[in-house]
Amino acid sequence: MTGIVSYGVYIPKYRIKPSQIAHAWGKEAIDVEKSLGVLEKAVASVDEDAVTLAVEASFRALQNGQIKPDSIGAITVGSESHPYAVKPTSTTVAGILGLPEELLAVDLEFACKAGTSGIQLLSGFVGTNKAKYVLAIGSDVAQSKPSDVLEYTAGSGAASFILGNKDTVANILDFTSYCSDTPDFWRRDSEKFPSHGGRFTGKPAYFNHVYKASASLLKKTKLKPADFDWAVFHMPNGKFPKEAANRLGFTDTQIKPGFIVSQIGNPYSASSMIGLAAILDIAKPDQKIFMCSYGSGAGSDAFVFETTPILKKFQKRNKNSVQRQIQDKQMIDYSLVARNIINKYRI
The residues carrying an active-site annotation are: 80, 112, 234
List strand residue ranges (DSSP E) for the chain, in order: 3-10, 14-16, 41-43, 72-78, 104-108, 133-141, 156-164, 170-179, 185-186, 195-196, 230-233, 288-292, 299-307, 330-331
Picking from 76, 42, 45, the residue whose alpha carbon sits closest to that of residue 58 is 76
Rounded Cα–Cα distance for residues 333 and 88 (Å) = 33
With H, G, I as helix, E, B as strand and everything else as coil, classify residue 315.
helix
Q: Using N-to-C axis directions, what is the helix angle for 240-248 and 208-221, rounded to 10°?
A: 40
Question: Checking DSSP bridges between strand 288-292 and strand 230-233, what pairing results, if any?
Answer: parallel
79, burial (CB in 10 Å: exposed 0-12, middle 13-18, buried 19+): buried
CB 231, CB 293: distance < 8 Å? no
